[in-house]
Amino acid sequence: MAKFPIVTIEKYQGPNSGYHYPAEKWVCCEEDRIVDTLKSVKKINPNITGIFYYNIVLDFPQYRLHENFAKNESWWLHDQHGNVLRVKGGGHGNADLLVYDTTQKAVADLFMNACLGLVQAGSVDGCFVDRPVVTGLSSHDGLTDDMILDNLESHVTTLQQLQHNLKQAPLIANHAYAMPGINSVMIAVFPASEEGILTLQWCADRGKLVEAHMISEHGCESDEGIQDYLAAFLIGAGNYSYFGCGSWFTSALSIDYQWKTSYEKPLGPPTGRAVKTELVYKRDFASGTTVQFDCSTNKGEIHWAKSESLTQQNGSATS
């Protein structure tokens, strides 16, 4: 794990590792396990950026945050008839989870402080917030359109305030490409397509840290399997753009599975922005590595330079 420049520890670190883990066995407190794991990684590589994960919609019961939230029913999201809203998701099988009503300042503050306190204490370097825009909530949950809109708007204001409090620390908002005032985003299912390139460029052009995540079902078991996706990433990447490939739940897999020899190839900074001729993008890097991506076939080619080409270069490589 310490090979990666940025590491996020998710909600199933430790004894809550099963996708359908029995509800009666959920164990507090996930915050401590996340911090402990990041400390272990940083003992090996103190330069990594360690990120704390939580969800702005789902109240996961293995978090200490849940213990505080569950004490006050008025903080829970209710439907238009006043019934407590419970939803399934996040890998907790058929469990019905409570939902944060972040339209209330007390709830927004509770949510923000869960990660802010860890950053201020030096335990983690930043926060990853899941579902800020893709909430999974709909009228089928007994919510009116206005209630859904209010919920979404409260996510924006909550994260903007959290980012203000975090200052320059990364706040990675999943899917929230156009959310103003947030310095980092994740493309959760990065596609090998022009759409993926343009989304990455749009975010990078606005100075956002971007995590581009290729899901393993598309072929990240080999360097050949990731080539089209990695080529699309390199075409669109800017400063603080990161690429990775893996499944959502990897407890049964070795971390070696996540690391590809392509990540060790010479790259260096790009010599300029990608150039598109008809349907083909091309981009060169200081090492001599060249990349192209054909939008008509969604196929990419990476011609890696020899390792010694990077000798004596001072530029920082795109991650």
Is the model's pLDDT at 315 over the cut of 50? no
Angle between helix 194-205 and 223-236 (nearest 10): 50
Measured CA to CA, the distance from residue 207 to residue 202 in angstroms comes to 9
CA 119 to mean position of chain CA atoms: 17
Write the pLDDT tens digit of every residue in 46-102.
999 999 999 999 999 889 999 999 999 999 999 999 999 998 876 666 668 899 999
The reported pLDDT for the residue numbered 220 is: 80
Beta bridge partners of 54: 129
Domain coverage including residue 104:
6-188
The more confidently predicted of residues 109 and 17 is: 109
**Residue 118: inside a domain:** yes
Residue type, 305: A
Is the model's pLDDT at 213 over the cut of 70? yes
Instruction: State the pTM of this model.
Output: 0.90
The more confidently predicted of residues 311 and 220 is: 220
pLDDT band at 16; cut points 50, 70, 90: low
pLDDT above 70 covers a percentage of the chain that reads: 88
Q: Please count the structural domains in the chain.
A: 1
**Residue 246: inside a domain:** no
The reported pLDDT for the residue numbered 288 is: 97
User: Which 3 state secondary structure label does DSSP give 257?
Assistant: helix
**Residue 136: inside a domain:** yes
Strand intervals (E) in the chain:
6-9, 49-55, 86-87, 97-98, 126-130, 171-174, 184-187, 209-215, 241-246, 275-277, 280-284, 290-294, 299-303
Write the pLDDT tens digit of every residue in 160-191.
999 999 999 999 999 999 999 999 999 999 99
Contact of 170 with 208, CB cutoff 8 Å? no
DSSP 79-100: -TTSPBPEE--TT-TT--EEBB
Beta bridge partners of 293: 281, 300
Is the model's pLDDT at 205 over the cut of 70? yes
Using CB atoms within 10 Å of the CB of residue 52, give its burial: 0 to 12 exposed, 13 to 18 middle, 19+ buried: buried
CA 19 to mean position of chain CA atoms: 19
Closest among 119, 112, 123, 93 to 26, alpha carbons compared: 93
**Residue 159: inside a domain:** yes
Q: What is the mean pLDDT of residues 30-55?
A: 96
User: Which residues, 6+ apart, have CB-to-CB distance to 43 below 8 Å?
Assistant: none
**Residue 69: inside a domain:** yes
Strand order in the sheet with 275-277: 275-277, 280-284, 290-294, 299-303
Measured CA to CA, the distance from residue 34 to residue 291 in angstroms comes to 37
pLDDT band at 312; cut points 50, 70, 90: very low
Kindly state the tokens that stand for 175.
Answer: 């899917």
**Residue 96: inside a domain:** yes
**Residue 217: inside a domain:** no
Contact of 298 with 228, CB cutoff 8 Å? yes
Local structure of residue 252 (DSSP, 8 states):
T
Q: Which helix (H) or strand (E) holds 203?
A: helix 194-205
**Residue 294: inside a domain:** no
User: Which 3 state secondary structure label does DSSP give 3?
Assistant: coil
Cβ neighbours of 7 (radius 10 Å): 19
Closest among 63, 44, 47 to 55, alpha carbons compared: 63
